[in-house]
Amino acid sequence: MILTTTDVIQGAVIQSYLGIVTAEIVYGSNFLRDFFAGLRDIIGGRTGSYERLFEEGQRKALAELEQRALRLGADAVIGIEIDTGTINVDQSGVLLLITATGTAVKMR
């Protein structure tokens, strides 16, 4: 399975477009991680725990995108975009949302 951000795959011919595929990964906030990230923000530096969380979320979103494309009979997903955002739940925290979207295609 080829996963790419481009709209074409060099040397390949797209036989059919099977549709848009999406995958969403949602993480809840973690009090201790948020506390230590806040300390980092005060003293400066990168927040490694959140960087790892984003990396993990992107990997999981792409893996789920691939599985959904395979169920459609796709050989590749083109035009992939990964977006991140937050959802305010209430005063106790937020949810982290990572979304991957692309077009499932069948190659010739």
Tell me which of 14-18, 55-59, 88-92 is least confident: 88-92
Q: With a cut of 90, say whether residue 25 has pLDDT above it.
A: yes
pLDDT value of position 31: 47
Helix (H) or strand (E) holding 55: helix 48-71
Nearest to 87 by CA among 25, 22, 20, 21: 25
> Is the model's pTM score more than 0.85?
no
Indicate the class that CATH gives domain 2-107.
alpha beta
Give the least confident one: 6-10, 40-44, 77-81, 94-98.
Answer: 40-44
31-43 helix and 48-71 helix, angle to the nearest 10 degrees: 130
Element spanning 54, H or E: helix 48-71
Report how far residue 9's alpha carbon sits from residue 33's, in angstroms, rounded to the nearest whole number. Answer: 40
Statement: residue 33 has pLDDT above 60:
no
Domain edges within the chain: 2-107
